[in-house]
Structures are given as C-alpha cells and as structure tokens.
Amino acid sequence: MTNGSLDIWLHPKIDREDQSGVLSLLQRLNIAIDVACALDYLHNHSVQPIIHCDLKPSNILLDNDMVAHVSDFGLARLLSTVTNSSQKLTSTIGIKGSIGNTAPEYGTGNEVSIEGDVYSFGVFLLEMFLGKRPTDEMFKDDLNLHSFVRMALPEQLVQIVDPALLVRGVEEMPAAAVAAREYYNENEIEADEETQAIVNHSQVEANVYKCLISVLEIGLACSIESQKERMKMEEVSKELHSIKNAFLGSRI
C-alpha cells in the first residue's frame, strides 16, 4: 500500500528520512470508520463469520487515498456456527495476538470470539487518538490504556490526546504538531507551563472537543473487561459515522 501502515504514521521515528506527516482529526476519523466497517463485514456479513485475532496499527495499511485496509490474517479464525462444543472450530491454542491489544479473556483460555476483536478495536481506537502504544512503559501494574483514558475523561482530555490534534490548522502546521507530540511523548501526561501554553493557544474548539470525547468513549465501551458488555461492530460503525457527520456539520 502506497502510504504504508498506520503504525508509522502514529509513531514516527525521528531519524527516518521518509518521515510520514501528521494525521488530522478527520483523517483519523475516516480510518476508524474504515476499520470498523471492515470488522463489521468480517463479523456480520461474511458467508462465515471471521475473527481477525490480531488487530493493531501495524496491520492497518493505507492506500494512495488514505483509505484504511485491514491486513494480515495469519491468526484469523472462522467462527463455527456449530453449537456442539466437541465440533467447534475455534481455539486459542497458539493464538496470542499482540501484547496490549489482545482481549484479557484469551489469557484465561477462553475461545476466540467476535468480542475479542471488538476489544482490540477499542484499544486501537484509543491508541490512534492518544498516539500512545498500549505497551508504553507508563502502563504497568493495574494501569493500561483503557484505565488511563477512563480516569482522565472528561476533565483531562486535553492532556491525554495526541497534541497534534489540538493544534489549529494541523494540515498547515505539521512542524508545530510534531513538536508538541514529541514533548508529550517524552513527558507523559505532565506538561510544564510553556508547553501547556501551546495547547491552550490552540484554543480547542467545542466541536473538536466533543468529537474527541465521543470517539474515546466508544474506545472505552469496546475495550471494557466484560466480554458481554462490549459494543457490536455494527453499532460502532454507525456511531462513528454519526460522530463524523456531526463534526463536519459543525465545521460548516
């Protein structure tokens, strides 16, 4: 794919000559919708339901038009419609997925499931809008990407999201966005007064704030520990489309 994987856009390396640009809020919304629609198709519209089992930014590829494509089905499983447990086709034997992205129930020997993909999508969504990997060194003990966002919302939204999303006209000011992102990556959630002024100066607009809150809430609803309480991908897709339409409408 022309524009490589989503991972290199979210986590650029400073010493790379082919440095990718900064993804705008709208671009990230579109990517989230593309991936949600892909999972909705796999889960609900394929002849036989397919579970991806390893959804993460490095497995999301971007084409020439920045349309996202879900790739790498090396761990994918067909979901059996057979109710007899002795005939089920799915198993977690040998399926580990990626650390930080894999549903917690897989670690206790549960069978792979559609809900497991939903969990991975929730983590993916939080990672894309925070710019932090679920394996970041700050996440240890009982703190993970989900709990980090849950504790911060809504009061600390500005402090946790990718600062590139808070800079006005991010398309016209990639350097400022990248500089802000690098600072936050180095200093975690705490920022000094000077850097905080950069964020405040960007004057986060109400429509941007509302959009980010709504997206992160979906990420949380998908990545909760309770398997049965997670959103369905069909519902996720519809909600993300509504969020995008509201965001575009408010801009007009």
- The alpha carbon of 207 is separated from its chain's Cα centroid by a whole number of angstroms, namely 20
Cβ neighbours around 153 below 10 Å, total: 15
Q: What structural domains and CATH numbers belong to the chain?
A: 6-251 (1.10.510.10)
Give the number of other Cβ atoms within 10 Å of residue 216's Cβ. Answer: 23
User: Catalytic pick from 18, 40, 54, 141?
Assistant: 54
**pLDDT tens, the chain, 252 aa long:** 999 999 999 998 765 555 567 899 999 999 999 999 999 999 999 888 999 989 999 999 999 999 999 998 877 788 765 444 434 444 444 555 567 778 888 877 778 899 999 999 999 999 999 999 988 888 888 888 999 999 999 999 999 999 989 875 444 445 555 555 555 555 554 544 444 544 443 456 889 999 999 999 999 999 999 999 999 999 999 999 999 999 998 766
Query: Contact, 176 vs 167, CB < 8 A?
Result: yes
Task: Specify the pLDDT at position 103.
Answer: 86
pLDDT at residue 178 in the model? 53
* Distance set, CA 199 to CA 12, 87, 176, 235 (Å): 21, 56, 11, 33
- In the prediction, which pLDDT does 8 show? 93
So what's the pLDDT on residue 90? Answer: 47
Report the SS3 class of residue 47.
Answer: coil
Q: Judge whether 54 counts as a catalytic residue.
A: yes
Packing angle between helix 233-251 and helix 206-222, nearest 10 degrees?
Answer: 170
pTM of the model: 0.81
